Structure 1
């Protein structure tokens, strides 16, 4: 089965990751790329300042860039991936869904909307049921589905593994790579020999999105998880890979070994881009590290380590590749889930 897909915002950093990940995909055939008006009409090679570490696929390089508008795009597409800036996406994505397109989006707008699925396939695939609610309420033939923020998606799989012990409260401090801000997001003069102890909007995203992802869906509405989540987000001079220190208060009192076993045994999902093992746990207290562990299972796995007991629960470190598992790869995986579940 071949599923024809398009990418909105294909020339940006995340858009380029989409192209890299879709090259040779067993199900998805990239049939359209869009960008701003200044790029429309050019070949992709001309429009994109290519910065991914593999060459532009030859067939994509010569593809004509189309305008990012629902009435200008080929309607013979089964699925659209969006990597648009959130301000643009908030206006554009609903137009595509209303026009009948199914949109798997990495953009931050509407993630917390009550009728929009915010999905990590291994964690809450059942939340796709919100698509029916969304279509009923908005009158759409298409649909809008989101993956979470890159820092949220690093932590939430480990929290899902801990939930069996009664997850009460979470405190997390992040050390986030510069690629999370986009190529032009942080200048070298800001970040070299430095750390920036604030990332605008990031803490709020982690605190709210985590509770939605871990929440329960009864077929009609979604209830947020009851855990309190507090985040402190920091930018550091690594290129890729968000490292996070998590302190989780638990109702039960599991041992370090029980926590490690719960993380390693947390079930994955049988989709083409999914890692065989979602969470890899290191015994070495010096791991995980961005340079060593961000590319586990093609950048789609989460690494954890440094697990220790605390007075109220457990503390540990976790890591994921922020532009693969935390962005384009997450949207691709959601797209695969949409196909598997019959929404596409």
Structure 2
């Protein structure tokens, strides 16, 4: 078994990591870290557990450690990071320098030149950037990122359409409140309301998607040469980001072509990988968050409403933002790192 830990284990994404790692066939969760205020406590006492399944028995009594390289056992093979980005920016490089491999959900360094930003079904070859990273930074460890929760909803569908020559993409998102964390949006802000702004979200979608769809060149990534623009909105659903995507391609395509490309999206033989990756609905009113966010145990992307427009193709897509869009994405990257011998 591979020994793993969770950084930032008491927060919302940290809790989701613990839930997803419970009973994992390859990973043994033995290390939990949090802020100094929680260090030294049993996990059951340090975390205000908010998920709909109980804290796993073998995790509840683990003593929480400080998020510091000196506090983590040297034989920990892989660390999953649910740290806030300001903490991750400081702590993750120190952990990598100390020899740890970190699969991180934090937003810091996602578009850094030598940091792999990976969706395993999309661009697994970008892990080769680890060699560049280690040479440039002198690390024995490594830092790998998964993209933003809204980006990861859209990009698997865009990957399927690259064969038709992507030229322009516009996306308008309807994002669940859990994407802001438990205390991120108050009930007075979101009930009977839509908030047409999510700070930094649009820039993340516009940059991360082009890096993910770029080509690994041997010493870096050549980003996709296409225009991506985003409009991001917070809506009063609990989980599941729904997105309206408008795509222009160099080739003429039909809705049938698009549906077929989605259905042919690749799958992987990894414990957390869904099959199919993209579930296609013929109904014009699907996917919907409440009905479809748990497809593939929350790791699949749902697509539907595919239709022609005056300029190209429009469709809707949906993914569970704290599973596929956060902890599950990082977990899948960890499984890829283990399978391909990077640990």
Above 0.5 in TM-score?
Answer: yes
Aligned equivalents of 2:68 and 2:240: distance in 1? 33
Describe the superposition over 1:298-343 as per-residue Cα deviations: whole angstroms up to 9, x where unpaired.
Answer: 0000000000012222000000000000000000000000011100
- Aligned equivalent of 1:173: 172
Question: What residue is the counterpart of 1:95 in the other structure?
Answer: 94
Question: The residue matched to 2:303 in structure 1 has which SS?
Answer: strand
Match of 2:80 in 1: 81
Query: What residue in structure 2 maps to residue 186 of structure 1?
Result: 185
The DSSP-based 3-state class of the residue aligned with 2:109 is coil
Partner of 1:50: 49
Q: Please list, as runs of the form range in 1=range in 2, the aligned pairs for 1:266-277 lying within 5 A after superposition.
A: 266-277=265-276
Residue deviations 1:263-305 (CA, integer Å, cap 9, x gap): 0111111110000110001000010000000000100000000
Q: Which residue of 2 aligns with 1:29?
A: 28
- 2: distance between equivalents of 1:235 and 1:221? 34
1:93-120 deviation per Cα after TM superposition (whole angstroms, max 9, x unaligned) = 0000000000000000000000000000
Q: Given the two structures, how large is their TM-score scaled by the length of structure 2?
A: 1.00
Q: Residue in 2 aligned with 1:318?
A: 317
- 1:76 Cα deviation (Å)? 1.3
Q: Which runs of 5+ in 2 are unaligned?
A: none
CA distance in 2, matches of 1:255, 1:192: 39
Which runs of structure 2 are paired with 1:128-167 in the superposition (5 Å)? 128-167=127-166
- Equivalent in the alignment of 1:282: 281
Q: Distance in 2 between matches of 1:13 and 1:328?
A: 10
The equivalent of 2:108 in structure 1 is 109
What CA distance in whole angstroms lies between the structure 2 residues aligned with 1:71 and 1:313?
54
Deviation at 1:169, TM superposition (A): 0.4
Mapped to 2, the partners of 1:221 and 1:319 lie a distance apart of 30
| Cα distance between partner residues in 2 of 1:259 and 1:331 | 28
Tell me the secondary structure at the aligned position of residue 306 of structure 2.
Answer: strand
The corresponding residue for 1:224 is 223
TM-score scaled by length of structure 1:
0.99
1:112 aligned counterpart, secondary structure = coil
| Deviation, structure 1 residue 75 | 1.2
Structure 2 counterpart of 1:212:
211
Please give the secondary structure, in 1, of the residue aligned with 2:136.
Answer: helix
Alpha-carbon distance in 2 for matches of 1:255, 1:248: 12
Residue 218 of structure 1 deviates from its aligned partner by 1.6
What is the match of residue 256 of structure 1?
255
Name 1:334's counterpart in structure 2. Answer: 333
Quote the Cα distance in structure 2 between the aligned partners of 1:308 and 1:134: 42
- Structure 2 partner of 1:195: 194
How far did 1:254 drift? 1.1
Q: Distance in 2 between matches of 1:162 and 1:25?
A: 33
What CA distance in whole angstroms lies between the structure 2 residues aligned with 1:339 and 1:156? Answer: 23
| Residues 13-64 of structure 1: CA deviation (Å, up to 9, x unaligned) | 0000000000000000001000001100000000000001100001100000
Match of residue 37 from structure 2: 38
1:71 is aligned to: 70
Task: Give the unaligned 5+ runs of structure 1.
Answer: none
Query: Secondary structure of the equivalent of 1:312?
Result: coil
Q: CA deviation at 1:77?
A: 0.3
Per-residue CA deviations over 1:56-105 (Å, capped at 9, x if unaligned) read: 00110000000000111111100000000000000000000000000000
Who is 2:5 aligned against?
6
